[in-house]
């Protein structure tokens, strides 16, 4: 009978290098992450979304789910990785995607006709060696072929979509556990599901809200984030709506302490259309972490003093170098606190 080290050696030869590794080869929760596009959401998730994991963005209509998925995908592109977008709903708008920061010329867009086709495409793409993110828009639109073929008067077969999604999740576990490339490194493809909210009928106590696709996706997701629209933002000089505040609640996080909340401003029109108000985020966290000093109504940023919060935020907005420098300092401070 061979000892454990010999057995592990044989298994690594049989199934590929790094199939079994020592526990200290992994650094706890210090996983490779990508920015969500929002400083607030990055901080509250532990530094952004983790590569090589399943993440779910969910919420009601108009709450910013697809916007934040596009923002996340744009940052994946900035990391030099490839983006695949499964447009199951048929709602992908190239011009709006450009406005959100995506380089649509390099986005691989798939428009599957059935849920099974979408699942097969997703599984194959995740198993490729160089995909950075796959966005599934949306889980609720994944309709099995059997359901599509039935006449409308036929009763809907309960649980058919959940069974399909659960099967997909089992295959995704296998795909994400694969070693890829010549160096046989862990698969770092991020799978981002966008999902909707449905109401359970007959619920008398507790929340009636649920998400389509069954329990498999909820269990598989390392992070689940619910988005809500807090309020609409008016232009001061007109009655025009130019944006909204997006609220979020992290209902699950296996890579960082969960149950955190926050909000940020997003512009839907005007000069900053498609942008998150990063200057406001940097100001709030800069103040919280002591990088911006406050005495009464006066705020000090570096050597400059500003009377009133709006002027201080405008100063950050006008000085991109200063704003990005403060952002880096804030993230470093948060990381020190997390690791310390």
Between 204 and 241, whose confidence is greater?
241
Q: Please give the mean pLDDT across all residues of the chain.
A: 90
Res 233: pLDDT: 76
pLDDT at 235 over 70: yes
pLDDT at 29 over 50: no
Q: Using CA atoms, how far apart are residues 81 and 58, in angstroms rounded to an integer?
A: 24
**Residue 179 banded pLDDT, cuts 50, 70, 90:** confident
DSSP string, 106-172: SEEEE--SSHHHHHHHHHHHHTSSSEEEEEEE-GGG---HHHHHS-TTSPP-TTHHHHHHHHHHHHH
Res 28: pLDDT: 40
Handedness of CA 248, 251, 255, 261 (dihedral sign): positive
**Residue 154 banded pLDDT, cuts 50, 70, 90:** low
pLDDT at 318 over 60: yes
Statement: the pTM of the whole predicted model exceeds 0.85: yes
Between 79 and 30, whose confidence is greater?
79
Q: What is the mean pLDDT of residues 92-119?
A: 98
Distance of CA 269 to the CA centre of its chain: 23
Q: What is the mean pLDDT of residues 122-129?
A: 95
Domain ranges of the chain: 29-150+158-251, 277-340
**Residue 282 banded pLDDT, cuts 50, 70, 90:** very high
pLDDT at 339 over 90: no
Handedness of CA 296, 328, 330, 245 (dihedral sign): positive
Name the DSSP letter for residue 88. Answer: S
State the burial class of residue 200 (Cβ atoms within 10 Å of its Cβ: 0-12, 13-18, 19+): exposed
Res 129: pLDDT: 85
Per CATH, the number for 277-340 is 3.30.250.10
pLDDT at 45 over 80: yes
Superfamily of domain 29-150+158-251: P-loop containing nucleotide triphosphate hydrolases (3.40.50.300)
DSSP SS3 for 190: strand
Using omega within 30 degrees of 0 as the cis cutoff, is the peptide bond preceding 138 cis? yes
Name the DSSP letter for residue 276. Answer: B
pLDDT at 202 over 90: no
């Amino acid at each position: 009978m061979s000892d454990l080290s010999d057995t592990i050696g044989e298994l690594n030869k049989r199934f590929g290098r790094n199939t079994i590794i020592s526990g200290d080869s992994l650094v706890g929760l210090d996983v490779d992450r990508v920015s969500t596009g929002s400083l607030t959401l990055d901080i509250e998730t532990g530094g952004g979304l983790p590569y090589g994991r399943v993440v779910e963005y969910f919420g009601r209509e108009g709450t910013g789910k697809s916007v934040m998925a596009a923002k996340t995908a744009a940052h994946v592109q900035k990391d030099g990785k490839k983006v695949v977008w499964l447009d199951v709903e048929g709602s992908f708008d190239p011009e709006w995607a450009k406005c959100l920061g995506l380089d649509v010329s390099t986005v691989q867009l798939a428009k599957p006709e059935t849920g099974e086709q979408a699942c097969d495409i997703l599984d194959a793409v995740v198993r490729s060696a160089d995909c950075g993110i796959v966005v599934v828009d949306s889980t609720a639109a994944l309709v099995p072929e059997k359901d599509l073929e039935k006449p409308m008067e036929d009763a809907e077969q309960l649980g058919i979509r959940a069974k399909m999604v659960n099967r997909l999740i089992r295959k995704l576990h296998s795909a994400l556990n694969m070693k890829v490339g010549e160096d046989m490194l862990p698969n770092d493809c991020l799978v981002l599901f966008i999902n909707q909210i449905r109401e359970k009928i007959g619920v008398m106590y507790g929340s009636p809200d649920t998400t389509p696709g069954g329990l498999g996706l909820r269990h598989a997701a390392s992070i689940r984030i619910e988005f809500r629209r807090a309020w609409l933002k008016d232009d001061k000089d007109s009655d025009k709506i130019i944006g909204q505040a997006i609220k979020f609640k992290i209902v699950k996080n296996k890579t960082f302490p969960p149950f955190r909340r926050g909000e940020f401003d997003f512009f839907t029109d005007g000069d900053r259309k498609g942008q998150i108000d990063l200057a406001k985020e940097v100001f709030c966290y800069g103040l919280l972490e002591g990088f911006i000093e406050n005495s009464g109504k006066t705020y000090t940023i570096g050597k400059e003093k500003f009377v009133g919060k709006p002027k201080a935020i405008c100063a950050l907005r006008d000085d991109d170098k200063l704003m990005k420098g403060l952002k880096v300092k804030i993230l470093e401070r948060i990381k020190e606190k997390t690791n310390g």
